Structure 1
Amino acid sequence: MKAFSDLSEREILAVAISSEEEDSRIYMTFAEDMTERYPATAKVFVEMAEEETRHRHQLLQMYEERFGPNLPPIRREDVKGFLKRRPAWFTKNLPLETVRKEAEAMEFQAVRFYSKAAEQTTDVNIRKLLGDLAEVEKEHGHTAAKLEQAYLTEDVRDEEGRTQHRLFVLQYVQPGLAGLMDGSVSTLAPLFAAAFATHSNWQTFLVGLAASIGAGISMGFAEALSDDGSMTGRGSPWLRGGICGLMTTLGGLGHTLPYLVPDTWPNAFWFATAIASVIVFIELWVIAWIRARYMDTPFLQAAFQVVLGGVIVLMVGILIGGA
């Protein structure tokens, strides 16, 4: 993948052209899906899709005048820092609130892209076009935000509040949740395998400690290297990596610490295992609550997915350790 700062003006325009085409199709998909349920909202998305198509024509005309008819084979997925769009089959039958958030996030990213691109280009005409498109995309963002006021019963949050909430989710909740899920679930198998294989609290604690810290380091680097934050607004990659790594480690340590119970205590192994099992249950339900609160996942669905996955991993560890 290429860093955004390494893109040439030709590649910037090519990415912009392909992005406008894809966004137009996504908005039309929203419109088609909401025609019966929310006809007024569907019309707004049709207008937004048509506007994206006009933007594409403007960009394409500018590109052909400057570089000729052949577009380089580069899309936003090839540029480090872009958030991936949902696949088309994930945009069907979404709640209005979820669609609004999705559209608002799309426009937020488009504004950042055009603003950054305008700063990077040296061609006066290209810079002007990109700057104008950034302003238009800002208006689209306002339009997406107004959908909540027009069609939902909740009080409308002001723009600053929405932006702060969105950035909070992008910069803190998402990496923290990814780390907590990985740390809480991935360490279950090695921890409980060691526990039932050795029946030694201290040996189990060492295995859990190593698994937790190792997973934290791995997840931290993976998150930091996945996105430099320049386009997505997700903030410093090392901040996100630190949050992700820390939450991964904490997720594993939560059910590792009970094995500090001294082996000299009566029934020390079963006492520590019982406490660890309760902590695992609490961890999984906390993850489900966070997904429901911030990631637009119904709580029961999130609970079923997380708890089921955790129980499966837990049983695998116990079966292997007891073999």
Structure 2
Amino acid sequence: MVDNKKSIDELFLCIKRKDKLKEFKKAFGLKHVNTEEYLLKFVANFYKAPIVNYKGYIKGSKNLYSEIIAKTLVSEDLVKEWDKLKPVRPNHFDTDHTPTQNELSITNRKEEILAKLLFYQGEVKDLGYIFDYQTPLKADRSDSYGKIDLLGYNTDDKYYSVIELKYRPSGSDETLLRCVLEAYTYYKLLDLDQIVSTDSHEGISVLRNLKGYKHTKNAELVVLFDEKACTENDGGYKTNLMLRLNPKDIANAVYPSKTVESQQHKECQELLITDKRDSLRILCETILKQEPHLKQIRFAVLRVETVDESPSIERSYRAETLLTIPNKG
């Protein structure tokens, strides 16, 4: 029988970063706990570990950090430990989120503002209907669980979408490994049946009235990202997801100093046309194999559909799916 508590140590050692193992244990309280609690804390927090976001090569080798981590999660059976995660929040939808409130000024986080804009838009081409954003997962303040960026309903395939949105005005630099692990962690902590039981959520009320909608236990993970952040000279006015980034000066557009391709788009292209990300693909396939109700993992670019000429930060959006990894079961 595999000792997965020991395998976690090996995960850090195989990338020659024992120092990061000590940091991880300290940050998430993995010392002096029994094996079950140790493994639970590991799976709940591993996507936050800095090593998951390393983009370079392991010192003295030709192996990418992210690929060796993905490979080890599968080979050591560590990915099976995600089954220990269970929903803990009694009501995910007690947030009073409504598609008409347009409260963009209460946060300065650009990714969260973009999530709200997609929620307010509702139907997003090639993505589906967005019925909630920043969906909470924790039961107590002391829980380390985060929030789901967006919850949607895939109107083509008829299942729910757990959407991990990645956006930064200067170009997001998070790895696809982190994106997939974060989305999967959130999926395991989400009780989809609460969509049926909730009775005071406007987005879900609209969802229930969609033509062809029917509640299901089936879902997909969607990693949704920007292709690139462009300068004004490179066409940023028409392509950048957000222009008026300064809430105190929304009349003027803001552009990055240089055009930057997002890390997610770079890695997705490698998934599509090279074998450089084969271990990530195998990890995705392994996740799907152990989750009968998780039907696919989708990687999609968010694009501007129309440009709003008014002095606001709002635009309309569409998605473009670049790659879908299906559940073969």
Larger fraction in strand: 2
Q: TM-score range by the shorter chain?
A: under 0.3
